[in-house]
Amino acid sequence: MAKLTRFGRTILPGMLIIAFVLVAPFRATGGEVSTDPATLKRLVSEAYNKFKDLKEGKPADYIPELAKVPPDLFGVVIVTAKGEIYTAGDVDHAFSIQSVSKPFTAALVMQEQGSQSILEKIGVEPTGLKFNSILATQILPQVSVNPLVNSGAIAAVSMVKAKTAAERFNKILDFEDRLAGAKLKVIEDVYKSEAATNQRNRAHGYILFVSDRIYSDPMEAVDVYTRQCAIGVTAKQLAVMGATLANNGVNPITKARVIDARHVPKVLALMMMAGFYNESGLWAYTAGLPAKTGVGGGIVAVVPGKMSIVGFSPRVNDAGNSVRSAKAIEYIAEQLGANVFGSGR
Ligand code: GLU
């Protein structure tokens, strides 16, 4: 009895303290996602160095101008919800935003008409098919599938309230400017190149038109969509756009509210389900972060409440996803334990 009491009073507390000291570092990695500056700085440069020599994939060439972008450009950026910026590589090179613009135009429509309007007039289901699949547009004849595939993105553009095409485009550009905290510009050569070769997107426009799923003149919507895709962003600017989502709709650099907080989870849900083209399931399974990719080589991923992680590199795989960018983001997310499905968070 006396022995047990001594064990209880002195030895047991000592053992508990030793056990706590041993376990504490592991608890830290399984809990809150770290925003420690030294950690983020290290991870950005580690991700850059690990994948900078990877040559898998090739620049998209179905838009001729994209094939001219130097294939070895590579940049990695983290912007936290508090506005700290960590970078490595080519983070100031402007590339065309392409499909990464899609969730932001959906957010603009939500701002104007509420998130229910996306559900009713476009839809939110992932297709499991390519982003420009005509078949996907025909699967759900009452809607245009979801705003992150081409048909749904063209429909989203057509929903932006405006009297003219110029007004509609300027609204989209102004919204992206506020998200990025910068004056963005169209890369005219990319716009012209895609406008001359976007017959498939015009087909989407006409299919939507004949089945009452487009809300402005269809060719005008396709043209504004094509200009939207040609907006130039740097990896750093894209990361600020993503960090605005991570910060519940407030741009962490300019401090301006751009998206209502209630719409942010809807935008992230779209990104989670359809942000990675027909590899969205794979991405959810491996990285577990809402993200959006574009054939220009940009990818933005969002760790809600914490940060955005962006990669830019023009070599894309068959699905259209930048190989180095995806690997870099996945590496950082894994090191941080940032998977949104992780119970440790
Ligand atoms: N402008 C491109 C298209 O419509 C965007 C594709 C993409 O980035 O997924 O084909």
- 308 vs 1: which has the higher pLDDT: 308
Q: How many whole angstroms separate alpha carbon 262 and alpha carbon 148?
A: 19
- Radius of gyration, CA atoms only, the chain: 22
| CB-based contacts of 255, cutoff 8 Å, min separation 6 | none
Distance from residue 63's CA to the centre of ligand 1 (Å) = 9
Distance 217 CA to ligand 1 centre (A): 20
Answer yes or no: are the C-beta atoms of 345 and 337 closer than 8 Å: yes
Structure tokens at 276: 């990675």
Tell me the one-letter amino acid at 188: E
Expressed in angstroms and rounded, the spacing between residue 133 Cα and the centre of ligand 1 is 11
What's the half-sphere exposure (Cβ side, CA atoms, 13 Å) at 306?
22
From 187, 229, 277, 318, mutation site for ligand 1 pocket: most ligand atoms within 8 A of C-beta? 229
Report the share of the chain in percent with pLDDT over 70: 89
- Atom of ligand 1 minimally distant from the CA of 230: 1
Q: pLDDT of 35-63, one tens digit each?
A: 999 999 999 999 999 999 999 999 999 99
- Per the CB < 8 A criterion, the answer to whether 316 and 58 are in contact is yes
User: How many residues in total does the chain contain?
Assistant: 345
Q: Which residues pair with 316 in a beta bridge?
A: 58, 322
| Count of CB atoms situated within 10 Å of the CB of 79 | 29
* 237-289 confidence digits (pLDDT tens): 999 999 999 999 999 999 999 999 999 999 999 999 999 999 999 999 999 99
CA 294 / ligand 1 centre spacing (Å) = 7
Give distance in angstroms: CA of 179 to centre of ligand 1: 20
Q: What is the pLDDT of residue 19?
A: 46
C-beta 105 within 6 A of ligand 1: no
Distance CA 241, CA 50 (A): 25
More confident residue, 122 or 132: 122
Whether the Cβ atoms of residue 257 and residue 301 lie closer than 8 Å to each other: no
Mutate to test the pocket of ligand 1, among 65, 96, 99, 325 (most ligand atoms within 8 A of CB): 99
Q: In the structure encoding, which two tokens stand for residue 111, read together?
A: 């701002």
Does ligand 1 have an atom closer than 6 angstroms to the CB of 293? no
Residue 81, number of CB atoms within 10 A of its CB: 21
Residue of 17 and 179 predicted with greater confidence? 179
User: How many degrees, rounded to 5, is the angle at CA 295 between CA 261 and CA 246?
Assistant: 20
The mean pLDDT of the chain is: 91
Looking at residue 10, its pLDDT comes to 56
Query: Is 215 close to ligand 1, i.e. is its CB under 6 Å away?
Result: no
Burial class (CB in 10 A: 0-12, 13-18, 19+), 203: middle
In angstroms, the CA 37 to CA 32 distance is 15
Higher pLDDT, 147 or 138: 147
